[in-house]
Amino acid sequence: MKGLILSGGKGTRMRPITHTAAKQLLPVANKPILFYGVEALIAAGIKEIGIIISPETGEDVKSAVGNGERWGIKIEYILQDAPLGLAHAVKTARPFLKDDPFVMYLGDNLIKDGVGPLVKRFQEGKADAFILLKEVANPSSFGVAQLDKDGSIICLEEKPKQPKSNLALVGVYLFNPMIHKAIDEIQPSKRGELEITDAIQRLIATNHRVDSHILESWWLDTGKKDDMLEANRVVLDEMTDVSMLGTFDDASRVSGRVHIGKGSILKNCVVRGPAMIGDDCSIENSYVGPFTSIGDGARVSHAEIEHCILREHCQIIDFHGRIEDSLIGVNVELTRSNNKPVAFRLMLGDDSKVEVV
């Protein structure tokens, strides 16, 4: 079985962050989201993975992920010229997939229990496709499945205005080669895309077996800033690895599950976990609260940070204020010129220079 990870698209819902970075490379607990997908497929026993990339961010993805050597697997990159739908991505990857069964995994998704049990169930069963479902509060934002009383799939719809259920398709799909024929038999949707929901619906209409499983544990689609922060919170909340590889002085207090990376120095700070501080960071006269991850080489002074993602080499200097629920990009410089006790919620793209007055 092969793996296909989708890491294309333009990430318009995450701008300005994604003006300069692939959304799948944004960090959750200081690790790119895309890596969680790669590792989930590897844990399921998959050793050949194709990654769909876009012209805009493909080289960044290649540079970050590499050829798979670090994991002992083979990774092949597949260029999708334009974001024309998930089924179009599968069609583009057909030379890589050939006639092998495969798992398709959306590269900006996180799933608590991985895909190993699903792969085993698919391999042992007789379905032509297997989809994962999850009850959601806003089904019109997703592909939606309607089931009958026996749990069989009646129909699938892509982002319907009036959903027939609250069961969203999670970003993991398992297929055998029959999906290629189904894709060849569908037409672009009103959005101008080849929808994977239409292809699966075509399988159902032609009497092919499509099985499903309703996910009980968490699933996170990190398409927006608040989704990213929630993913960061969930992953940090389950963090069990506590490492004190940096140094902190006697005036600093560290409590809870906290990781402090190599070369990082804390002076007169309070850090309350779960939190993750990367390598070579400098944190002075500051408070770092729960559910915060700070990337390598960051510098923070005179600031309160909580429930935030700070990317690599960002600098928050002499801020004298509170920052919460924020996503701050690479190499950002953030300062403040007054000391009024105000909390800020920010989303700043890479290389920004911002003075709050």
CATH 2.160.10.10 in the chain, residue ranges: 241-356
Those residues of the chain that have pLDDT short of 50 are none
pLDDT number for residue 341: 67
The tokens of 186 are what? 């569908």
CA distances (Å), 68 to each of 49, 62, 63, 119, 275, in order? Answer: 9, 10, 11, 21, 29
- Nearest by Cα to 269 from 242, 299, 239, 241: 299
Q: Mention every residue, 6+ apart, whose C-beta is less than 8 A from residue 184.
A: 91
pLDDT number for residue 22: 75
The tokens of 164 are what? 């027939």
pLDDT number for residue 57: 87
CA R_g for the chain = 22
pLDDT number for residue 12: 58
Give the CATH number of domain 2-236; options: 3.20.19.10, 3.40.50.720, 3.40.630.30, 3.90.550.10: 3.90.550.10
Alpha-helix residue ranges (DSSP H) falling in the chain? 33-43, 58-65, 86-92, 94-97, 116-124, 178-184, 196-205, 225-237
CATH 3.90.550.10 in the chain, residue ranges: 2-236
Burial per residue of 21-30, b for 16 or more beta-carbon CB atoms within 10 angstroms, e otherwise: bbbbbbbbbb
3-class secondary-structure state, position 192: coil
Angle 121-158-139 from CA coordinates, rounded to 5°:
85
pLDDT tens digit sequence for 314-333: 999 999 889 999 999 899 98
CA–CA separation, 168 and 152 (whole Å): 15
N- to C-terminal Cα separation, the chain: 56
Identify the architecture of domain 241-356 in CATH.
3 Solenoid (2.160)
CA–CA separation, 43 and 28 (whole Å): 19
- Nearest by Cα to 44 from 73, 64, 11: 73
Q: Quick check: 17 and 352 in contact, CB under 8 A?
A: no
pLDDT number for residue 344: 87
Phi-psi label, residue 9: left if phi above 0, alpha if psi -120 to 50, beta otherwise: left
Angle 284-335-27 from CA coordinates, rounded to 5°:
70
CA–CA separation, 156 and 196 (whole Å): 10
Q: Mention every residue, 6+ apart, whose C-beta is less than 8 A from residue 95.
A: none
- Nearest by Cα to 17 from 33, 36, 6: 33
* Dihedral of the alpha carbons of 151, 156, 157, 158, in degrees to the nearest 10: 110
pLDDT number for residue 10: 60
